[in-house]
Structure 1
Amino acid sequence: MAEFLSLREAVSRYIHDGDAVCLEGFTHLIPFAAGHEIIRQEKRELTLIRMTPDLIYDQMIGAGCAKKLIFSWGGNPGVGSLHRMRDAVERNWPNTLEIFEHSHAAMACAYEAGAAGLPFAVLRGYVGSDLPKVNTQIKFINCPFTDERLAAVPSVRPDVAVIHAQRADRNGNVLIEGIVGIQKEVVLAAKRSIVTVEEIVDDLGASVNACVLPAWAITAIVEAPKGASPSYALGYYDRDNAFYKSWDEIARDRETFLTWLQHNVFEKGAAS
């Protein structure tokens, strides 16, 4: 059953060195505040899993949190590369980063399989792709009914799922509106989950067919206004496109990045 904690306490209690951690959100409701708290607490040796690693994973990788990345696309949306990720992969800075790249379809299926408690996901995919040559997580099996050759990938069953949402009620139920992505599946697949929200309310005001995560599926809820910024939260604030553009220059140089990290993550957290 969900409990209400501060962000600092939730991360300290439920994310440990060496954990497999998913911070999910597809262009929308990306849990930046939680990612920054993970950086501040200097979590290490994490396996980071995400369909679309963007700025928050670039920051976490550059801060030395990650040893492995499982993903299906990585970049600064509409801008270019993730320079801290590239530095880790190409030059082992600040440490070596092992990567496992999948297709979007495979990642989505892997999350769904994890939510269902299954050990792997099966899909029609990777035909003509070179990814199986470089990703040992991709296997092929024959259907026991038709003998069709199918791709199989391990399900995503992380130690911790972290997502951001609009609202939680005082009973611990969470409402997600707008682009849902894979958030509900990762919470259901994970051993533990932290959900940051814009506000805690008496009534969610959920409409018919709304995406509501029940309190029994959530470990901790944190009230974190603007917890998805510089991404956006439908109904609360817009995407900060200027920051996404500026990140390209910030992340290119190690010293510039470390200075930004000190001022905007470590010092900001100490002041809050």
Structure 2
Amino acid sequence: MARFLTLAEACEEVVRDGDCVAFEGFTHLIPYAAGHEVIRQKRRELSLVRMTPDILYDQMIGCGMARKLTFSWGGNPGVGSAHRIREAVEQGWPRPIEIEEHSHAAMAAAYAAGASNLPFAVLRGYRGAELVRVNPAIRSVTCPYTGEVLATVPAVRPDAAVIHAQKADREGNVLIEGIVGVQKEAVLAARRSLVTVEEIVDDLRGTTHPNACILPGWAITAVVAVPGGAFPSYAHGYYPRSNAFYLAWDPISRDRDAFAAWMEENVMRQGPQAFAAHARPANAGKAA
């Protein structure tokens, strides 16, 4: 059953050195506050998994926390390259990193397989795709019923999954609204899970919209209330995306010294509430 902890306590319990970790959230609900706490705790040798690694993973990889990245797209959305990820891949700075690239469909299928306790996922994708040439994890199987040759990818079964959501009730059940991405599958596939939320409420009944899902408290290790915990991404129904932040990140991330100075001032020396405060409606859209 989910336990209500502080962010520092939850990150220490859920994310450990050497873990395979998925910080998921598609377009919105990206768990920045939790990711920054993991950075402050100086986790090492992580194998990071995410469908769309953007600024959060750019920061983690730039801090030398990861040995591997499994993903299906990487960059600064709407702006350009994720420069810290790119330099780690191309120049091995601050340390070499192994990459395993997939399509979005394959990553979603791999999470679903992990959540279903299956060893691999099957899909019709990758026909004619060049990823097959560079990713030995992409294999094939012949359907025993039709003889069709289908692509396979190994299931994603993280040691830890970290997501952000809108609400949790007093029993630790979590409501996700808007674009739900693969957050549900990531949590169900993981051995341990942490969910940060905008608020804790007494009852989730009657508050859901058609495009929503509820994660049961028994599937979650820890829940933490962190208002603004997805900033600079957005939280559907709470605050918008800070486009200015994503634009401002590009020149910061291009330079090693500028990146290190920014991380020291804005992440290492600050607690989660200081950074997340920018998500308040009066400040939405400003860079931190």
TM score, norm. by length of structure 1: 0.98
- 1:270 deviation in Å? 9.1
- For 1:126 and 1:243, the matched residues in 2 are separated by 35
- For 2:66 and 2:207, the matched residues in 1 are separated by 36
The aligned residue for residue 236 of structure 1 is 238
- For 1:184 and 1:160, the matched residues in 2 are separated by 13
1:96-135 CA distances to partner (integer Å, 9 max, x unpaired)? 1100000111001101111111000000011111111111
Alpha-carbon contact 2:157-2:190 (below 8 Å) kept: yes
1:143-176 CA distances to partner (integer Å, 9 max, x unpaired)? 1111111100001110001000001011111001
- For 1:188 and 1:207, the matched residues in 2 are separated by 20
The aligned residue for residue 96 of structure 1 is 96
SS across alignment from 1:268: coil
Code of the residue aligned with 1:12 in structure 2: it is E
Alpha-carbon contact 1:139-1:152 (below 8 Å) kept: yes
1:234-264 CA distances to partner (integer Å, 9 max, x unpaired)? 1111100000001110000000000000000
- 1:269 deviation in Å? 2.6
- For 2:8 and 2:272, the matched residues in 1 are separated by 11
**TM-align CA RMSD:** 1.2
Note if 1:186 corresponds to 2:199: no
Alpha-carbon contact 2:226-2:273 (below 8 Å) kept: no
Alpha-carbon contact 1:193-1:220 (below 8 Å) kept: yes
- For 2:12 and 2:189, the matched residues in 1 are separated by 21
Code of the residue aligned with 2:7 in structure 1: it is L
Please list every run of 5 or more consecutive structure 1 residues that lacks an aligned counterpart in the other structure.
none
The aligned residue for residue 214 of structure 2 is 212
- For 2:31 and 2:10, the matched residues in 1 are separated by 14
Please list every run of 5 or more consecutive structure 2 residues that lacks an aligned counterpart in the other structure.
275-288
Aligned pairs (5 A) from 1:248-267:
248-267=250-269
- 1:178 deviation in Å? 0.7
The aligned residue for residue 38 of structure 1 is 38
The aligned residue for residue 19 of structure 1 is 19
The aligned residue for residue 158 of structure 2 is 158
Alpha-carbon contact 1:40-1:269 (below 8 Å) kept: no
SS across alignment from 2:239: coil
The aligned residue for residue 4 of structure 1 is 4
- For 2:272 and 2:154, the matched residues in 1 are separated by 39
The aligned residue for residue 72 of structure 1 is 72
Alpha-carbon contact 2:33-2:272 (below 8 Å) kept: no
SS across alignment from 2:271: helix
- 1:13 deviation in Å? 1.4
- For 2:87 and 2:209, the matched residues in 1 are separated by 46
Q: Count how many residue pairs are aligned between Structure 1 and Structure 2.
A: 272
Code of the residue aligned with 1:241 in structure 2: it is N
